[in-house]
Every structure is written in structure tokens, then in C-alpha cells.
């Protein structure tokens, strides 16, 4: 990891220090995804089978997971793992129900009632990656809020293995959360299938979930097409920023940095501290712990584009963090809540030395599908609200129109919208 001192850098150097790994939408990637989407739209299920053979190296007879596969998956799973999945699902459900939007009804004037009602997005598509490792936790993070929101049709796609089956833990989590249909599809072709529909895969209104560069590009392309589907948020590689004081445990800090670095070679981790000694101890500890990791080679590639940054104070660390807007922000300081009010932009925040980012990934109850690549400045993580539409309703009585009609007419006239004005004044004249 590169060591830097924030106050010794000019503005250009600071921008470079906080730059994410390049995620250029290269012409080759963009064009490749466009071709896959076109092939799926033209060829439907036949194209999906051909693409699965090409990219996932599996021959699919049935695209959809059937009941026997769900039963076999449940029977094959270790009971301890099944219990952990159920335990995590219960906590995710508990938090997401408590945080879900609620209907609102307010009388804004006598005889004027304004409401907000909630309706589920009818059909949603969930994508659960299974590239370097399957992610049953993502099935929980997407399936639970979709169930709470009341979505009528919940479709899930996850890549099949070479034997033509999906990961058993992903299937168990999907069934546990009430997903209605699961398809053995991955990559851009899965996104295309859910966005446009095929004979087997129903067309979805909104797509959710992380994925590799091909999946991300496919989501961006279908979301910009009026015939495609909305998406949860723009996404990039996983990232974490840690703010640590001089008394932070370097073993814990290093473990948190490595827990994100092992996600992929394009992940990024950043440590900010006012203590040069702490930075040095963490650097040594990262090397020691990394050597023992099964995914050490992946982690080292991520660490090569990561940073250890010396700051003047914890206050300055917060300023730098807000500028970076991390997906995950860990506050390994003596009084983390003292910094909380100053934090403006982060996907999810972890307070204190006993709160590793890993608990948020799996079972604290919060959601791990979060905005990355600086999108935390304007996007939030997935929640029940992500699966709902908020619709406003208003009801005005005759007395209510007498109350607010003149205001409406005045503003409509100021905007030179005469029909708007008359829609009010004609009624007021009828009430006179």
C-alpha cells in the first residue's frame, strides 16, 4: 500500500490519491455487452443456453430451477450453514421492517388532505453473483426487502456451475426469502433476460444486485433504454475507508482492510490516521495477515492501488472521507459517535473496534448492497423503499378549494398557464 501525507500534497496529488481504480467503459466492453443484449432479445431462451455454454461452460436443459433442485440443495447443505442463513435473514427482516417507509396523511389546510401511499414494484429481478465465489448473503439482502415490500413477482438469476446447477446456499436463501422464480443465468445475458423477457424469464420492472464489469455495464445499458428496466444504483468494485486513531488496534484495522481487498483485484481500501506510527504498524500487519489468506494474490492486486494516508487530525480525516464518499466507512477511534454527525457521504458506517465491516455484509441486519465508486454522495443502499413506489394522493373539499384555490390561480397565472388557472377559477365561480 502506498503511504502518503495529505498536507504535503497539492490538489492534483490529492485527487490522484483518492482516485478509484480505472473503470473506463471501454469500447470493447460496451460493444460486447450491446451484442449480448441484442442476441438475447433476438434469440430468447435459445440464445441464453448458447451464451451459458460459452461463458459459464455448462449445458442447460432447463433454464429455471425446479422443485427437485431446491429440495436437493436444502438436503445437501450443512445444518450449521442453514441455521446461519435463517439467523441472518431474521435480523435483516427485523431491521428492514423497522426502517420501511410508512403511509402518511396530513391536512395541509381545512378541507385539504394530502397523503402518501405505498405500492410495491410489481415484478423485480435480483442478480446474485457466483463468479469467484457464490454469494447467498446477496440473495438475503435482496430477497428480504422485496418480500417486505410485497412485490408480486420476484425473479432471481445466478450463474450455474459446470454441472448445470446453482449454488445450494443461494437456492436455500432464495427459497427462504420467498423468491418466486430462480433462473440458472449469469452475466450480461441474465440482465438482458430480466430486462426484456424471454419465453422462460419474465420481463422485470427493476433490477437489483452487484456483479462484475459486464453485469454493471448491462445494467447501465438497459436502464437507459425506455424498453429496458430501472436499476437499483450505479455500481463499481467494493471499497472501504477506515479512520483510525493512535490507539486503534492495528490487527483489527489490517483485517478490515483485507476483508475488502480480497473481494477482487479492482477493489480499493484506504486508511486515514493522524498517527504515523499506527499507519506503519498497520502496513506491517497487512503484510503479515495477507500472506496467510487463500485469496492473497487477489488481495495484493487490490492493495497495489490502495492508500495509507497521514492526516492532521480526525476532523481532517472526516473531511477526506466525505470527499471520497466510501461504500463502507469504519471508524476505529475511541469515540466514534463524536464523528458521526460530521459524516455526510457513506454507504454504510461501522462504529468502533468491535464492529467489523463483515457483520454488515452478512447478519447485523443492515443491507450490503451499497453505492460504490463515489455514488454514496447521492445514492443510498438498498432498502424496502427501493422496492416500492411512493404515490401522492390529494382530496380537496369545497371549503378546501375556497382555502387554497386563490393561491393556485395566482401561481398558475404567474406561469402563464391559463388552463391551469381556469381549472380552479371555474370551480370557485360555481361555489360562489
Indicate the Cα dihedral angle 229, 235, 237, 242, nearest 10°: -150
Q: Which of 231, 254, 278 is the last residue of a domain?
A: 231
Does 195 share its domain with 312?
Answer: no
Residues within the annotated binding site for Zn(2+)?
260, 263, 361, 420
pLDDT-based confidence at residue 134 (cuts at 50, 70, 90): confident
Cell of 220: 447501465
Decide if 22 is inside a domain: no
Question: Is residue 4 in some structural domain?
Answer: no
Give the residue among 125, 156, 318, 150 at the shortest CA–CA distance from 222.
Answer: 125
Among 188, 183, 177, CA closest to 137: 177
Q: Give the model's pLDDT for residue 410.
A: 98
| CATH number of the domain within which 414 lies | 1.20.5.1300
Helix/strand number for the chain, H first, E second = 16, 14
Instruction: Label residue 300 by pLDDT band (50, 70, 90).
Output: very high
**Closest by CA position to 426, among listed 416, 247, 408, 411:** 408
pLDDT of residue 61: 87
Residue 103 sits in the same domain as residue 244: no
Q: Based on the fold, state whether residues 167 and 185 are members of the same structural domain.
A: yes
Distance separating the N- and C-terminal Cα atoms of the chain? 77
Q: Is residue 256 domain-shared with residue 225, that is, in the same domain? A: no
d(CA 349, CA 329): 5
Q: Provide the 3-class DSSP secondary structure of residue 231.
A: strand
Nine cell digits for residue 179:
423468491
Q: Are 209 and 184 in contact (CB under 8 A)?
A: no
Beta bridge partners of 117: 391
For residue 418, pLDDT beyond 70: yes
134 or 74, which is more confident: 74
Q: Are 378 and 346 in contact, with CB atoms under 8 Å apart?
A: no
pLDDT tens-digit series, residues 51-77: 999 998 999 989 999 999 999 999 999
What's the Cα-to-Cα distance from 270 to each of 31, 152, 238, 257, 273, rounded to whole Å? 33, 41, 12, 8, 10
Within-domain flag for 62 = yes
| pLDDT band at 406; cut points 50, 70, 90 | very high
- Specify whether 409 is located in the same domain as 322: no
pLDDT at position 123 is 98
Q: What pLDDT sits at residue 84?
A: 97
Residue 262 and residue 183 share a domain: no
Same domain, 185 and 287: no
| Active-site amino acid positions | 327-328
Residue 4 in 3-state DSSP? strand
CATH code assigned at 98: 3.40.50.1980
- 226 and 240 housed in the same domain: no
Q: What is the rounded (10 degree) CA torsion for 79, 80, 84, 90? A: 50
How many residues are recorded in the chain? Answer: 432
**Coil/strand/helix, residue 354:** coil
Q: Which of 186, 203, 231 is the last residue of a domain?
A: 231
14 falls within a domain? no
| pLDDT higher than 80, residue 24 | no
Clarify whether residues 148 and 277 are in a common domain: no
Q: Mean pLDDT across the stretch 375-385?
A: 96
Domain edge (last residue) among 231, 260, 291: 231
Q: Is the pLDDT of residue 407 over 80?
A: yes
Query: Do residue 353 and residue 414 come from a single domain?
Result: no
pLDDT value at position 264?
87
Amino acid 284: pLDDT: 97
Q: 11 in a domain, yes or no?
A: no
Same domain for 147 and 176, yes or no, is: yes
Give pLDDT, residue 236.
80
Please give the full DSSP string across 266-314, using - where no structure is assigned. T-EEEEEES-HHHHHHHHHHHHHHHTT-TTHHHHHHHHTT-EEEE-S-H
What residue numbers does the annotated binding site cover?
Answer: 127, 189, 212, 238, 260, 263, 328, 361, 415, 420
Q: By the 8 A CB rule, do 192 and 125 touch? A: no
Distances (CA, A) of 365 to 145, 329, 411: 11, 17, 46
Q: Judge residue 202's burial from the number of C-beta atoms within 10 Å of its C-beta, 0-12 exposed, 13-18 middle, 19 or more buried.
A: middle
pLDDT of residue 25: 59
Q: Give the model's confidence band at 99: pLDDT under 50 very low, under 70 low, under 90 confident, else very high.
A: very high
Helix intervals (H) in 102-167: 136-149
The pLDDT score that the predictor gives to residue 151 is 98
Q: 27 falls in which pLDDT band (50, 70, 90)?
A: confident
Residue 23's pLDDT is what? Answer: 58
Q: Is residue 326 part of a domain?
A: yes
Flag whether 385 is in a domain: no
Q: Could you give the CA distance from residue 69 to residue 67 in angstroms, rounded to a whole number?
A: 5
pLDDT single digits (tens) 317-376:
999 999 999 999 999 999 999 999 999 999 999 999 999 999 999 999 999 999 999 999
Domain containing residue 335: 236-380
Could you give the number of structural domains in the chain? 3
With 0-12 CB in 10 A as exposed, 13-18 as middle and 19+ as buried, what is 35? exposed
Same structural domain for residues 406 and 376? no
Asked if the structure places residue 129 within a domain, the reply is yes
Averaged pLDDT score across all residues of the chain? 96
Angle at which helix 296-303 crosses helix 276-290, to 10 degrees, equals 150
Cell of 43: 434469440
Amino acid at each position: 500500500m502506498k503511504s502518503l501525507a495529505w498536507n504535503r500534497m497539492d490538489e492534483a496529488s490529492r485527487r490522484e490519491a483518492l482516485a478509484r481504480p480505472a473503470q473506463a467503459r471501454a469500447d470493447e466492453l460496451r460493444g460486447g455487452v450491446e451484442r449480448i443484449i441484442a442476441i438475447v432479445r433476438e434469440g430468447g431462451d435459445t440464445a441464453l443456453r448458447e451464451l451459458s455454454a460459452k461463458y459459464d461452460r455448462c449445458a442447460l436443459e432447463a433454464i429455471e430451477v425446479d422443485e427437485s433442485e431446491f429440495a436437493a440443495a436444502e438436503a445437501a447443505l450443512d445444518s450449521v450453514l442453514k441455521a446461519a442463513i435463517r439467523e441472518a435473514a431474521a435480523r435483516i427482516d427485523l431491521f428492514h421492517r423497522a426502517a420501511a417507509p410508512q403511509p402518511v396523511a396530513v391536512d395541509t389546510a381545512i378541507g385539504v388532505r394530502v397523503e402518501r401511499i405505498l405500492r410495491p414494484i410489481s415484478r423485480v429481478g435480483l442478480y446474485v453473483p457466483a463468479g469467484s465465489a457464490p454469494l447467498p448473503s446477496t440473495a438475503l439482502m435482496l430477497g428480504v426487502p422485496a418480500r417486505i415490500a410485497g412485490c408480486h413477482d420476484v425473479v432471481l438469476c445466478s450463474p450455474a456451475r459446470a454441472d448445470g446447477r446453482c449454488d445450494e446456499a443461494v437456492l436455500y436463501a432464495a427459497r427462504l426469502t420467498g423468491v418466486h422464480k430462480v433462473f440458472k443465468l449469469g452475466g450480461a445475458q441474465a440482465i438482458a433476460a430480466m430486462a426484456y423477457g424471454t419465453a422462460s424469464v419474465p420481463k422485470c420492472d427493476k433490477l437489483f444486485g452487484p456483479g462484475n464489469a459486464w453485469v454493471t455495464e448491462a445494467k447501465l445499458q438497459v436502464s437507459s433504454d425506455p424498453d429496458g428496466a430501472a436499476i437499483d444504483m450505479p455500481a463499481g468494485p467494493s471499497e472501504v475507508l477506515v479512520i483510525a486513531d493512535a490507539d486503534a488496534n492495528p490487527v483489527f484495522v489490517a483485517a478490515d482492510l483485507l476483508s475488502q481487498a480480497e473481494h477482487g483485484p479492482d477493489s480499493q481500501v484506504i486508511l486515514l490516521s493522524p498517527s504515523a506510527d499506527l499507519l506503519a504498524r498497520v502496513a506491517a500487519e497487512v503484510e503479515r495477515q495477507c500472506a496467510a489468506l487463500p485469496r492473497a494474490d487477489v488481495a495484493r492486486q487490490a492493495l497495489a492501488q490502495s492508500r495509507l494516508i497521514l492526516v492532521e487530525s480526525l476532523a481532517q480525516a472526516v473531511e477526506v472521507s466525505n470527499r471520497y464518499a466510501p461504500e463502507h466507512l469504519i471508524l476505529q477511534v475511541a469515540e466514534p459517535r463524536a464523528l458521526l454527525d460530521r459524516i455526510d457521504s457513506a454507504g454504510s458506517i461501522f462504529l468502533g473496534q468491535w464492529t467489523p465491516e463483515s457483520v454488515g455484509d452478512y447478519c447485523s441486519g443492515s443491507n450490503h448492497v451499497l453505492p460504490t465508486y463515489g455514488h454514496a454522495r447521492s445514492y443510498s443502499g438498498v432498502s424496502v423503499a427501493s422496492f416500492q413506489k411512493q404515490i401522492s394522493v390529494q382530496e380537496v373539499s369545497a371549503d378546501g378549494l375556497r382555502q387554497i384555490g386563490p393561491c393556485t390561480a395566482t401561481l398558475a397565472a404567474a406561469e402563464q398557464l391559463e388552463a391551469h388557472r381556469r381549472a380552479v377559477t371555474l370551480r370557485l365561480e360555481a361555489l360562489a
